[in-house]
A and B are shown apart, each in its own frame.
Chain A
Amino acid sequence: MFKIEILTKKGFKNPRSEHVLSDICGIGVKDVTKVEYSPLYIIDGGISSVEAETIACELLSDRITENYIVYLMQSGTERYCKVVSKSATEGDFVSVPSSDPNFSVIEVWYKKGVTDTVSESLVKAVKDLGIVKEIKVNTGHKYCLYGGVSRTILNIIATKLLANTLIQECKIR
């Protein structure tokens, strides 16, 4: 199982990050100073790490404006994630330690059974790419928030702005 994260290269604007920051300010939270948005994909099936990188490079990222990181999710959980390939340079990574109180991550994923049209398209596109293997795809969204924000506020941001808890679940780190 692989997890692929797509990052906007430094120097390029990410409109979604800007919109989210604007929306966070709009609900009265002024402590978040910067937001970085990355789409996430979990691909489950019998693909190799080379194929995962091909998918990340050819399908999911724009070489001009984006970088990718491919993680191998051992035992199917994120706890045992390790980077197997990346197009990003070290400077592109979010390398702030998770214990930093001024940095938080919110991930949003569809709940099981909810139609995920992007994943449906991706399954087809992977076949079109010549990787003829049965795969399952989950799509998610990662928001890195800079600024000292309490867990309560993070919960509000997650549930009132970023995720619709009726169909999505969020993980806050």
Chain B
Amino acid sequence: MKYTADCKVIEVLNLSDEQLIELSKKNVLSLSLEEMKAVQSYFKKLKRNPSDVEIETIAQTWSEHCKHKTLTGIIEYTEEREGEKTKKTYNNLLKETIFKATVELNKKWCLSVFKDNAGIIEFDLENGVAFKVETHNHPSALEPYGGSATGIGGVIRDILGVGLGAKPLANTDVFCFGDFGIEASKIPEGVHHPKRIMKGVVSGVRDYGNRMGIPTVNGAICFDDGYTANPLVYCGTMGIIPKDKIYKEVKPGDLILVVGGKTGRDGIHGATFSSVELDKESDVSAVQIGNPIIEKKVLDTMIKARDLNLYRAVTDCGAGGLSSAVGELGSKTGAVVYLDKVPLKYDGLRPWEIWISEAQERMVFAVPPEHKEEIIEVFEKENVEAVCIGEFTNEGKLTLLYNGEVVTSVDMEFLHEGVPKPVKRAVYKMKEEKIQEPVKMNSSEISISLKALLADLNVCSREWIVRQYDHEVQGQTIIKPLQGNNIEISGPGDAAVIFPYTVVKDTKRGIVLSNGLNPQYGKINPYKMAASAIEEALRNAVAVGADIRRISLLDNFCWGNPNDPEILGSLVCAAKACYKISKAFDIPFISGKDSLHNEYSIDGKKYSIPSALLISAMGVIENVENTITMPLKNDGNKIFVLGLTRNELGGSVFAKIKNICSGIVPDVYPKESKNVMEKIYQAVSENLIESCHDCSEGGIAVAVSEMAFSAGKGVKIDIDAVKTSYVLKGKEEIREEMTPAEILFSESNGRFVVEVKSDNEEKFGKIFKGTAFSEIGCVSNDKEVIFESKKNKVKIQEDFKVLLNSWRSTINW
């Protein structure tokens, strides 16, 4: 092998403020002036200029992607509600909201939270389950296939790199795209058409997940024009880990072993690139291409090595590459790395490129010297490349050598603690919400609206996507994403349940995965958006039989430019909601990630995406036999709505298709909802519920229709029997009679549609005594879906096949 040693000295000591900023921009360091000055000051103390390797190392370690500077920095927040201004300074927004709730809830079954590559909760006495959700937005905008494939590949490695390594059991994926119906001529230069992005992203997740032998079991898609140039790609992985493998500790003298793929120029500046707005000049080198075959071999061999106790710590090479992985593992000790020992794809990489490359499928291990030969043998037996590139020390320094020459020597403390805390201003002014003019519609108009809702991009069938994924591989998926009587007729499941019987012998327990996301609410009220996303994730999990007392949450914030006070203000507002709702439901957050700077530039004008908070939920189900699906089961069974329907059409799908600009955004009433969710679990455990579906986008009408057409059955619903209630406007309760359309399409939280056998009605009623619920109809054998209000002389009657076709025809490529 032949390399060109091209290590430059970067002049910083004598640069002016302007020159420092210019240097940061020119080298895609994404460091602010304050940060550049901190670098300058550190090297002034050392009385020398940094090398290019050193400056790149600092930029990666201090990147927003790795350090989460906004959420952990100082935020001076001003909130204005109904003319009253309140101010608060957050020294660490994450610690003072989301993490604070987890600390205060102090759940003993939370085994590892916010400190490793994923959150871990207890599965049983011997095992924990880990869950992580990541985003890969900018790479997916540039190269949808490669971007999303490496997104799922990266989050799988997070699970491999949690503790001493968890075995992945399931993947999740959630996407936000622009409307694919947009004319090609309206797409800005340098931007892929949303249809191309969507097809590429789905193919990328499909090819990587399927080839890894991991089922993709749960997901969601949101469409909005605001994501045309900057799509959002969330990928999640859940895995199981023995409890005695949860903790890792690097000891001085341990060898640094890099395992898996070779290093190339892939993804250079990926970590810092994520803090840069997208434009038509965005850089090719930020694109990574994945190779699932290598990662699959790494997975299989490292689990073997783990069970032989051959290493003390492991982490994945993600953003920032070796720089982040080695830096993270050695942050408390120190490390010496010989860059010329790193296996390369081709000659010609400069030392800094080797160090920060985000080439995929690499893991870094801390190996006691006495296990060196044995662990390398485990990997090499399966043709997995494993090479020692250095060792951890007790000197508290990061030292990098290339061909015998020191190219980096910086203190770990400066690297990890030296980043100045940014001070950012955040402003949130609450928008006034008011109830829309009464929505008066006749039977025919409601019927047309129902079909339009079912066909809407944010409601319609995702079958085209779901069927591309293998959701059965490993043979443990017992509640699947599509549910119905046969392959021709299916409806959308609320959540997935994995029964890990192949890895945990004799268990009856299962793991539930679900999600909640609704950026439309956030355009009006980010607090309610966050609260609703949490509640939706919980509802989805409860709807398949999860116990709300054993559910944990993950947050993924995708926001615009946090330097804009209003954008940051809405983020603070959403984080506050996370704290309050987490506490109110007694549900802890265990992990999370933020992706900021989701903005793009068209003709010099900058645009931010609609803020999106994805909440993912993971819970443990005591007995997988007590799980339920959403299609109706038997003619004659009774239909109930649990929870109250309020006049909440703000941000709803119905409001969008009817161009209703006003309306109250659905609020969350934790006391009511939690009570209902606890009782559903009890009723499911006693086998009193035949089917259950949560009410979200499209309200009761869509939920009932989906339950009916997925079963190929008819249903008769009495609209007048649905229990309605007040809405809160500030602290004021507003009570107004709702029209049939408002009842059918309101998106109030806290509601479920359930099917109960007549024989079980009494027992069911006893359980739900004291909560808001009402019997609204029954399953019929005439294949007709009927919604009727005698009081308002409204009757909607459609064959289930008509509704099914509306739902299935939008994305049917």
Contacts and interface: CB of A to CB of B under 8 A. Distances in A.
B813 A22 contact: yes
B193 A115 contact: no
Contacts of B288: 115
Given A27-B184, A166-B142, A167-B284, A113 B291 contact: no
Contacts of A116: 289
A113 B264 contact: yes
Given A166-B143, A167-B143, A113 B193 contact: no
Contacts of B360: 115
A120 interface: yes
B265 A164 contact: no
B193 A160 contact: yes
Interface residues of B, number: 26
Contacts of B248: none
A166 B288 CA distance: 12
Contacts of A111: 284
Q: In terms of DSSP, what is the predominant structure of the interface of chain A?
A: loop
B431 interface: no
Contacts of B291: 115, 117, 120
A167 B150 CA distance: 15
Contact of B264 (A27, A115, A167): A115
Interface in A16-37: 22-23, 26-28
B287 A167 contact: yes
Q: In terms of DSSP, what is the predominant structure of the interface of chain B?
A: loop
A131 to B, nearest CB: 17
Nearest to A161: B196
B35 interface: no
B146 interface: yes
B84 to A, nearest CB: 50
B184 A166 contact: no
A99 interface: no
Nearest to A164: B143
Contacts of A161: 196
Interface residues on A, range: 10 to 19
B296 to A, nearest CB: 12
A26 B195 contact: yes
Contacts of A27: 184, 193
A64 interface: no
B339 to A, nearest CB: 19
A28 B195 CA distance: 13
Nearest to A114: B289
Contact of B345 (A115, A160, A166, A167): A115
Contact of B289 (A22, A117, A121): A117
Contact of A166 (B199, B264, B266, B284): B284
A117 B204 CA distance: 13
A117 B813 contact: no
Interface string A107-137: 0000101111100110000000000000000
B154 interface: no
A115 B149 CA distance: 13
A117 B290 contact: yes
Given A114-B289, A117-B291, A121-B293, A160 B265 contact: no
Nearest to A120: B291
Contacts of A166: 142-143, 282, 284, 287
Contacts of B193: 27, 160
B142 A113 contact: no
Interface centre among B142, B146, B282, B359 (most CB of A within 10 A): B146
B284 to A, nearest CB: 5
A111 B290 CA distance: 16
Interface in B209-258: none
Interface string A24-62: 001110000000000000000000000000000000000
A115 B199 CA distance: 21
Nearest to B813: A22
B361 to A, nearest CB: 10
Contact of B184 (A114, A120, A121, A160): A160
A120 to B, nearest CB: 7
Contact of A167 (B146, B184, B199, B359): B146
A22 B196 CA distance: 12
Contacts of B813: 22
Given A114-B289, A115-B264, A160 B284 contact: no
Contacts of A120: 291
A164 B142 CA distance: 8
A29 to B, nearest CB: 10
Contacts of B284: 111, 114, 166-167
- Pairs of residues from A and B, 3 with the lowest C-beta to C-beta distance, nearest first: A115-B289, A117-B291, A166-B284
Interface of B: 142-143, 145-146, 184, 192-193, 195-196, 199, 264-266, 282, 284, 287-291, 293, 345-346, 359-360, 813
Given A115-B359, A160-B192, A164-B142, 10 more contacts: A23-B199, A111-B284, A115-B345, A115-B360, A117-B291, A160-B196, A161-B196, A166-B142, A166-B287, A167-B284
13 contacts: A27-B184, A27-B193, A114-B287, A114-B289, A115-B289, A115-B359, A115-B360, A117-B291, A121-B293, A160-B193, A161-B196, A164-B142, A166-B287
